[in-house]
Amino acid sequence: MSYTIGIDLGTTNSLCAVFQDGRPRLIPNSHGDFLTPSVVGVLESGEIVVGAAARELRVTHPERTAWCFKRFMGSDRPISLGAKTYTAQELSSLVLQSLVEDAKSELKASITDAVITVPAYFNDHQRQATKLAGQLAGLNVRRIVNEPTAAALVYGFHEREAEKNLCIIDLGGGTFDVTVMEIFEGTLEIRATAGESQLGGEDFTDRLVSAVLINQKMQLELAELKHPLHVARLRVESERAKRTLTAKDTARIRLPELDGQFSGQPREFKINRETFKKVCSKLMDRISVPIDRALRDAKLDPREIDEVLLVGGATRMPVMVDFVSSYFGKQPQMEFNPDEVVALGAAVQAALIEQDAAVNDVVMTDVCPFTLGVEIAKDLGGQIQDGFFQPILHRNSTIPISREEVFSTIVPNQRMVEVRVFQGDARRVTDNVELGRLRVENLPTGPAGMPIRIRFTYDLNGILEVEAYTDGGCKQRTVLTNHVQGLSQEQIQAALQRLQKLKLYPREDLNNQRLARYSERLIGELHPSQRQQLDLALDFFEGAMNEGDPQQFESAKQALLMTLSALGFPYDEHSADEQ
Ligand code: AMP
């Protein structure tokens, strides 16, 4: 038996789900959590850890960890991890591998196929990169689905009889998307999508870190701080405070010294919700822009939205809930867990692909969130000027879609044309994003004005194919479908081989590794008088991990757990949140 799993590959956390016995359900990782931090670490031994253990390592050894790499998906920016560098797609493939291991262990089946979600506003490069990450993890990626669309599928799956206009507000760790959709008689029709791919919950944490630094009269911005441990600890403290402010009115941030250590009685920065709101006001100003645009495109007024669905951990923040409530004049829907709904939706999508009988009355239509087109030259008063953008597919067209436009040669006997493909809405191509180029050669000779037909096909995965041909029949098909940033099949093979050499830390021992890294982190945070006690217990535990005598190991583990409890930092194996 084999399953197609649904994966929410998030900036901060990733989740995996499966459709079984007529419903979607989440798959726990080796710690029993549904959320696996999207953090990759390399241990001193050279083995790779993914998830909570890597997140612990990030505080004490930031140089040996990589996180938030989804932000660089689709670029070839090198991200360091220990002595080597990797691309975002390679690091993401390690996260995917770890999720697949969890799924195999839970379902006792082989896992070859997956549906992976992406922010709706991910461009073609970013989607291709996500697909490549799946491929590098050994997965056959059956579909790339927009995160808000996945969330809508869960809603539609549970509320088939509803007839409503829905707005899905998705603020994850690194991206923000807004989707407006209509649901009627089991049909889910996406009407419009808009968003920003560089705005997320992590920016709110960054604002808080900056505010603390400014308040401390250090007048330093994050990047200017030299000591990575200082930044790492301050960030963990700020992240924790941000989450505390979701539940309580005030929070405290312990201030590490400039070398990153906490002194016996660390200084504290107190913050309340009101101040946090001020600190984040510039980010909140950016939130309404895509909402306005999505509603405009869907030709709906905020009051015509019957239900608002919140997706992504960062929508839990009271500043977001308050904003959404006042914008739409109603409280958002609270039935679905914003962290989990996307992965569950990916599993529903997998069931749709597999034609599972439980979803045979659900129909879903999605849209292309961007305007896509080509560069053209214009004749402006007898002067030919290039650099203008000509749309071929308009944003929020229902997909799959295929449209052809006819262009013409500009000079007599023009034998070649280079089609430059862009995404965006600006009049000039320099203000849009270039997606790729296609050369059409050997055009038939003739006067200026010979027709060149350009066809754009945007498929259900949100992936674009461009074809160009002349009436003479010479046809060129682009490359935007098969390559990420110009990566050839050979380069993909090379990346695969490089990744295969990496040794993933054994899944069954990950919990112990996480416990060791948690203890190591605490050693640096404890009062000097308490340090030695924990240091000793950790030495004993790590020694026992290496020796492999089960009895000795168990007693060392118990001793370490008791020491942690006695020091007031009990270890919770099943807590996905930052401890
Ligand atoms: P996601 O990528 O959907 O996992 O979103 C994670 C983002 O949500 C991160 O920036 C988290 O800091 C943020 N987040 C998660 N839980 C909370 C919470 N209770 N309060 C505030 N932000 C949260």
pLDDT number for residue 2 = 83
Q: Report the alpha-carbon angle 72-77-80, nearest 5.
A: 95
Pocket mutation for ligand 1, best pick of 14, 34, 246 (most atoms within 8 Å of C-beta):
246
Active site amino acids: 8, 70, 147, 170
Ligand 1 binding pocket (C-beta < 6 A) is 10-13, 172-173, 200-202, 239, 242-243, 246, 312-314, 316-317, 339
pLDDT of residue 219: 46
- The rounded Å distance from CA 205 to ligand 1 centre is 10
pLDDT at 480: 58
Give the chain's end-to-end CA distance (angstroms, integer). 38
Whole-angstrom Cα distance, residue 93 to residue 517? 23
Q: What is the pLDDT of residue 529?
A: 78
Residue type, 185: E
Alpha carbon distance 249, 274 (integer Å): 8
Same CATH fold assignment for domains 2-199+283-367 and 201-281: no
Sort 245 into a burial class: Cβ within 10 Å, 0-12 / 13-18 / 19+: buried
- Ligand 1, pocket-test mutation among 118, 317, 579, most atoms within 8 A of CB: 317
Greatest distance between any 2 Cα atoms in the chain: 88
Q: In terms of residues, how long is the chain? A: 579
Q: Compute the distance from residue 247 Cα to the ligand 1 centre, in Å.
A: 13
Residue with tokens 């089609």: 419
Residue with tokens 């009062």: 527
What superfamily would CATH give domain 201-281?
A: ATPase, substrate binding domain, subdomain 4 (3.90.640.10)
Give the ligand 1 atom nearest the CA of 246.
Answer: 20
pLDDT (0 to 100) of residue 258: 73
| 87 token code pair | 């691309």
Confidence (pLDDT) at 389? 95
Helices (H) and strands (E) counted in the chain, each on its own, are 14, 27
Planar angle of CA 20, 24, 25, nearest 5 degrees: 90
**What are the φ/ψ torsions at residue 213 (nearest 5 degrees)?**
-65, -45
Ligand 1 centroid – CA 455 distance (Å): 41
- For the CA of 201, the closest atom of ligand 1 is 10
Spacing, Cα 177 to ligand 1 middle (Å) = 15
Tokens linked to 54: 């890597």
- Which long-range contacts does 249-258 make (Cβ < 8 Å, 24+ apart)? 249/273, 253/208, 253/212, 255/212, 255/216, 256/229, 256/230, 257/230, 258/225, 258/227, 258/230
Q: Residue 261: its pLDDT value, please?
A: 76
Distance CA 233, CA 198 (A): 24
Whether this prediction's pTM lies above 0.95 is answered by no
412 Cα: distance to centroid of ligand 1 (angstroms)? 59
What is the distance between the alpha carbons of residues 391 and 266, in angstroms, rounded to a whole number?
A: 58
What is the residue with the minimal CA distance to atom 4 of ligand 1?
13
The CATH number of domain 2-199+283-367, selected from 3.30.1050.10, 3.30.310.50, 3.90.550.10, 3.30.420.40? 3.30.420.40
What pLDDT is recorded for position 472? 67
Question: Could you tell me the residue ranges of all domains in the chain?
Answer: 2-199+283-367, 201-281, 372-503, 508-578
Residues paired with residue 467 on neighbouring β-strands, in sequence order: 455, 477
Of 242, 309, 311, the one to substitute when testing ligand 1's pocket (max ligand atoms within 8 A of C-beta) is 242
For residue 550, what are the contacts with CB-CB under 8 A and spacing of at least 6? none
Residue ranges of the chain with pLDDT lower than 50? 219, 222-223, 481-484, 576, 579
Give the ligand 1 atom nearest the CA of 312.
3
Phi-psi group of 199: left, alpha or beta (phi > 0 → left; psi -120 to 50 → alpha; rest → beta): beta
Token representation of residue 576: 């996905």
CA 332 to centroid of ligand 1, rounded, Å:
17
Residues 561 and 571: beta-carbon distance below 8 Å: yes
372-503: CATH topology is Substrate Binding Domain Of DNAk; Chain A, domain 1 (2.60.34)
- 3-class DSSP state of 77: coil
